[in-house]
Chains A and B, each alone.
Chain A
């Protein structure tokens, strides 16, 4: 049963910040908040609907990168051709959230702020080096997403601040990324475990490697141990296996009724191998054709495109 609550839908960001500071629960798509209210887990007496705030709306791809309003839906990302090309892991993450119906409502900002260790968009955003852009009465702050998470459902965010936008830098042509979501079924499921990877490959050597694990700790986390194995080294099967071992060792999953630690450890290991191979393959293959064409027609095929609003 959905309990009774006061509903606010301000159009003014400062009003929204004031309401949040006073204890109202922010809602975007509502696919987590209202479900939790139904189940009695969330007992907010006041709900703050963010959908009318223009500072949280819109999304565009610029030569610097992806500028995503926190209200951007998973479905929007899923259907955005340019994102699929350059941010493949993000495409994979967003396109595997819940179901089509949920992806139409659920937002990127909501996925981050719900704080679930299994959040599908967060691992990909972490490996793509995303930044959280927060707004409050004191103005704007930009925080690397990794630092934005400070604990289980805890964020570097003041009571009067809101997550407004997410910025994801444009990857170079030699970059590739991938995400693997391990589930028991093909829809309406949470990641039992997930691995995201981002690599840049320069003459066979891995650079700027980032690996993240989903559902392996209180928040989606970077696996610095796996990154350290890979960074600056030539790609090889052996290297990838060693990185997978490092990721599995760093993941330290626990046994629960959902699955045993042994099983999760093995999954992190095996899936990391798959995801790294996929990221490397995409780095080496994916935009080669585009790069060749750009050389053939200098100035005519733009890097990163213009302002792709995709709306």
Chain B
């Protein structure tokens, strides 16, 4: 056993090794003198992960296990004329072959447009057309290769522009599908969803403006490049219909509901046992391997079936971040006051709708950024193409939206002759202002974030662009954003005291690197004044763990934290009652002190410190101590109507932040070096400060890749760079960026200790700030990311 106290160099590391500071704007339910919350703690999952003993999805194995493999379509778009599986079945060791005909009902969270295995046609290269389970992986792959499919190739819709012509339809008839009330396809087109927001009258606003500026921006298609590829192991009993899946998915209850629907069983028959997640970032929100592994297990008489994608499958046929092409038009007064802004956008969502309606929705509310815009409009459309499937990607569309509006802010500032930061500060939202849904804005520290981010790169001392002594073109850029968290949503937890007085937290908030299995115990430790080492998060299993909507949208610490605090109050009451039984007094005569002592009011000598409650005997043969906590946001939510999306409370929590970048561009090679990043994020309250810093630092490296390197390149529906050599993710050698971070603490009225989310926000302004800095350095309006060396060498300088 490694004692946690001995492994606590984090504070030291944090003080010596990093540059960061904390800016307290507003405290909520916190004095700043807490013992656990607000102090860096060793991650609960650290030792397991660093020593390589953590069990991830692919580490799950069972006796008698079969291996799954898929036959995938070589065509991006084709009609399936016939599927013949005889040769595959004849391969020794093959135990099951499943085709689309076995599961003809399509599924989908927002619209049921996707078969688990293609049935009548394939809509992207790599789409499964058959699945095989065999005694060995070799036999399964061999058999999958022997499945014969007759295809009739159809015209390929390779680009957004081709899709928008609606000449070739990816889905001929949307009306055939079961569609939820929050997805809006257009019959007879490739439009799978749309979003419209309208505040005031943009035409009136443009008429009032002294200057109207229009620009466009495109964000390229990205892969999540999870270290752990998608995997699932299923045991599905064909006789009882009991289904169990071991998976590293980030949305246990979402997947449970979906599996129940696909396989026509009640939800309680589906048991998902969650493994460690080796990277998710939205990429493990969708069901990928799970339904196919279940289908194969059912067909092989309930044998365990393991299905793991290789890196090529991961690239070609899992999920990605959609391309988006945005257009923006801004009206502005000479003094820099924005009068109106209009955003129009087109997503290339790939072959199936998946989570795109939510991406479209979240991005829609963020499309104007944290600015005062009296007349605002957003019209965005989700278009289908024959590419891999767009889905959630850390930020749910808001990263792309921020890149758009911040690019526009720079252009407008330049045309006005205003300094970019000054222009932003002139227009940014403050408490009491009206947001683009008509909401009265509160707990909004965007000005503080902008100023701190700027200060962290020494903004005021730098010109917009300069040339260094080596001849590099240098520039600075800044970006801010606002992102909502999905509302309404609910969560629940069970806090259970073990016989020795330690605590388990049962929560379905998934640890995916963001640190929630450390922050959740921190809340309990603080509330109860208990040693953190005595509190841990139980493994997640949908048969035992209470409901949580999903681990997305930077919601876990906020929502689960509230639930845990509620449960801990109940734990205190239960312990006081047990002490009263022991001491023979009335429960109201026992108190739980702020210092974590269960104490008799009448006889203070009768006292049990919480860390000694196990030894105290008060629990012996008494009612077990077990509390529940719940938190939901349905009560505060003002549903934004489809017509215009005006709402007094579209979300429980806006996340706010800003980042500034300093870059140097080699004019000969066109290569960009990000020299310095300054970040400032309003996290409400830093529960585990090093965890917050790591979220932001990691996001900055990720965003650097988005701004300068990463893109999925398709030609005629064929992915050209579906591997880790040709798809350029930054390596450690590219991550040498001097980073200074300010954790802004502007306590949220509804957040536990005032906390706000930080899982996604670190990424949201990064690419925007870097792109802005490169544009400044090169005196060019690059209108897409990634900005590649060839764009830089063949750039056209801005004229105004």
Contact = CB atoms under 8 A, between A and B. Distances in A.
Interface of A: 1, 3-4, 38-39, 99, 182, 184-190, 257-260, 262-263, 266-267, 270-271, 274
Interface of B: 137-138, 141, 310, 312, 668-669, 709, 713, 715, 720-721, 723-726, 728, 730-734, 788-790, 793-794
Contacts of A257: 713, 715, 720-721
A20 B80 CA distance: 44
Contacts of A1: 137-138, 141, 310
Contacts of B312: 39
Contact of B668 (A189, A262, A270): A270
A185 B730 contact: yes
5 contacts: A1-B310, A184-B788, A185-B733, A187-B732, A258-B726
Given A186-B731, A190-B725, A257-B713, A4 B669 contact: no
A40 B721 CA distance: 16
Contacts of B310: 1, 38
A185 B790 contact: no
A178 to B, nearest CB: 15
Contacts, number: 55
A182 B794 contact: no
A184 B732 contact: no
Main secondary structure of the interface of A (DSSP, over half): loop
A211 B737 CA distance: 35
A99 B731 contact: yes
Report which residue of B141, B668, B713, B788 has the largest number of chain A beta carbons within 10 angstroms of its beta carbon.
B668
A289 B8 CA distance: 52
Contacts of B720: 257
A74 B464 CA distance: 43
Nearest to A187: B733
Nearest to B669: A182
A267 to B, nearest CB: 7
B734 A185 contact: yes
Nearest to B730: A185
A257 B719 CA distance: 10
A259 B138 CA distance: 37
Contacts of B668: 270-271, 274
Contacts of A271: 668-669
Nearest to B708: A184
Contacts of A186: 731, 733-734
Nearest to A100: B733
Contacts of A4: 138
Contacts of A266: 793
A116 to B, nearest CB: 11
Contact of B790 (A187, A190, A260): A260
Nearest to B729: A185
A187 B734 contact: yes
A188 B731 contact: yes
A154 to B, nearest CB: 23
B725 A189 contact: yes
Complex A-B, nearest 7 residue pairs according to Cβ-Cβ distance, in ascending order: A186-B733, A187-B733, A263-B790, A187-B731, A257-B720, A257-B713, A184-B728
B713 A188 contact: no
Nearest to B67: A1
Nearest to A1: B137
Nearest to A188: B731
Nearest to B312: A39
A188 B726 contact: no
Contacts of B793: 263, 266
B736 to A, nearest CB: 8
Nearest to A258: B726
A99 B724 CA distance: 14
A33 B120 CA distance: 39
A153 to B, nearest CB: 17
B731 A184 contact: no
A190 B724 CA distance: 11
Nearest to A182: B669
